[in-house]
Structures are given as C-alpha cells and as structure tokens.
Amino acid sequence: MSHDHSLNPETMPEDPAKATMEGKHKFLGLWIFLGGETVLFACLFGTYLALRNSTAGGPSSQDLFGLELVFLMTLLLLTSSLTSVYAIYHMKNNNFKKMQLWFGITALLGLSFLGLEIYEFAHYITDYGFTFRSSAFGSAFYALVGFHGGHVVFGLSWLIAIMVRNAKRGLSLYNAPKYNTFGLYWHFIDVVWVFIFTVVYLMGMVG
C-alpha cells in the first residue's frame, strides 16, 4: 500500500478534505467545536445585553457608534467569507494555485477588517475615553467585540501559516482537511459578526 497523499487527476477524490479518516475527524470535530463556541458567544452576548445600558455616566452606545465604519467592516468580512467559498471550490477542482489566490484575498479582507476594528477601538479610547474599565458597558462591549476580534486574529494567523507552509507543495489529502476546517471556522466568525452587527451596533444606535 502506498502512503503518498499527493493528488493527481486520476486519484483525485470527490472531496479531498473528507477523503481520509483524519479529514473526516477534523471536519466533524470542528463542527462540534463550533457548537461549544456558540455557547461561548451566547454567554458573552447575554452579558452584553445585561450591561449595555450600564454606562456609569460615561458615553453610551448612541454617543459612540457610527454606521458607516461598521457597515464597511461588515462588508469586508462577509466578502471574505464569500472568497473563502471560492477557494474551497477550487480545492475541490484540484486547482491549487487558484485556491491559494482566493485564500490570499480572504486573508487580505480579514486583515483590513482587523485594521478597521483597531481604528474603531482607538477612536473610542482616545476621542471618548471609552475603555475596558470605564463602565460595565465598556467592559461588556470590549469583551464581546474583542473576543470576536481575537478569533479573527487567530484565524488569520492560522490561514497564513498553512498557506505559507504549503505554498510549494501543492494540494494533498494531508493538507486539504486543514484548509477545509479553516474555511468552516471562518464562516462561523462571519456569522458571529452578523449577530454583533445587529445586537451591538444596530440595536445600540436605536437605543
């Protein structure tokens, strides 16, 4: 039996990410992990909802949030999810170069999202004195949005690491599951952001 996992058109299975036992395990494992992550964010949302009006005399959500910036951020992140779908599509067609290209675009979009988020936080801190410590609202806001941001940072580092590592090696049954699980994770981050956009920003601006 040969243990060469690299792919050529004849040996290319239907879905390289789930063709091996390890691939199946990773795929299911990540789904299950996301179940746990859902509870994690649910708890953070709950905390935020309980504390969102506890401004302790400091700035409130209406004072702070601006729709333009957050809308742009949402756009960037949603688009990055779409580009990662393209990347996985090319993976299934065994087109490594295009897959790397679309994942590269995904990473760039993610990085710009992150840049804007850092800008946003800096803006709140310097212009409004609104920090992690200034009120319970501040603590809850930075905890929720920051946790999401942390997930974005982790996801981007992960993506860049596997892209660099495999740049010269092409697609194989060994690395396909890694890209695939990343893709799933990235969609999840996107979904969480949609909730943040709604619950934190939209509801926050209405009051």
Interacting residue ranges for another protein, rule: CB under 8 A: 1, 3, 5, 21, 24-25, 28-29, 32-33, 35-37, 39-40, 43-44, 46-47, 50-51, 53-56, 132-140, 143, 158, 161-162, 165, 174, 178
Output the smallest distance, CB 75 to another protein, in A.
29
- Maximum CA extent, the chain: 71
Instruction: Specify the residue, 29 or 66, whose C-beta has the smaller distance to another protein.
Output: 29
Output the smallest distance, CB 138 to another protein, in A.
7
For helices 96-128 and 67-92, what crossing angle results, to 10°?
160
Q: CA 130, 157, 110 angle in degrees (round to 5)?
A: 60
In whole angstroms, give the CA distance from residue 58 to residue 74: 26
Instruction: Specify the residue, 97 or 165, whose C-beta has the smaller distance to another protein.
Output: 165
Per-residue burial over 39-62, b if 16 or more Cβ lie within 10 Å, else e, is eebeebbeebeebbeebeebbbbe
Instruction: Specify the residue, 18 or 73, whose C-beta has the smaller distance to another protein.
Output: 18
Instruction: Specify the residue, 52 or 76, whose C-beta has the smaller distance to another protein.
Output: 52
